[in-house]
């Protein structure tokens, strides 16, 4: 993220992730957070000048009920990304290659994340 305070507002406020640890990042005393998933460290978010530069999906969460998770994210203000070349349902979820379903969203810097489900 380009601004750790904005990152905290998004990852904790909108995604509902809980920080397991915070610490320094380069020259920023409190510039990083490690977020948990399933009770274990899963995602390291830190302030960086290159935030949002990658066009790749940076992380994917595998979920049991993608419809419910997408609805919860949208209710908290997260926008689901729709790609012109893909067919999406009303929620913005699309069929995944090889089966299953997938939806994408971005953080305030434009870093892309995905949700996937096998059904």
- pLDDT truncated to tens, each residue of the chain (119 aa)? 678 889 999 999 999 998 988 887 777 788 889 998 877 878 888 888 888 888 899 999 999 999 999 999 999 999 999 999 999 999 999 999 889 999 999 999 999 999 999 98
Question: Which DSSP category does 69 fall into?
Answer: H
Question: Domains in the chain, start-ordered, CATH in brackets?
Answer: 1-48 (no CATH), 57-119 (3.10.180.10)
Distance CA 18, CA 45 (A): 12
pTM of the model: 0.87
Q: Are 109 and 1 in contact (CB under 8 A)?
A: yes
């Amino acid at each position: 993220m380009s601004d750790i305070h904005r990152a905290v507002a998004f990852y904790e406020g909108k995604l509902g992730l809980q920080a397991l640890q915070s610490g320094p990042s380069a020259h920023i005393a409190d510039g990083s957070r490690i977020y948990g998933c399933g009770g274990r460290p899963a995602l390291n978010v830190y302030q960086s000048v290159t935030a949002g530069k990658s066009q790749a999906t940076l992380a994917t969460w595998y979920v049991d009920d993608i419809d419910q998770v997408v609805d919860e994210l949208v209710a908290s203000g997260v926008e689901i990304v729709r790609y012109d070349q893909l067919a999406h349902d009303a929620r913005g979820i699309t069929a995944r290659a090889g089966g299953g379903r997938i939806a994408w969203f971005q953080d305030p810097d434009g870093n892309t994340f995905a949700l996937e489900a096998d059904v």
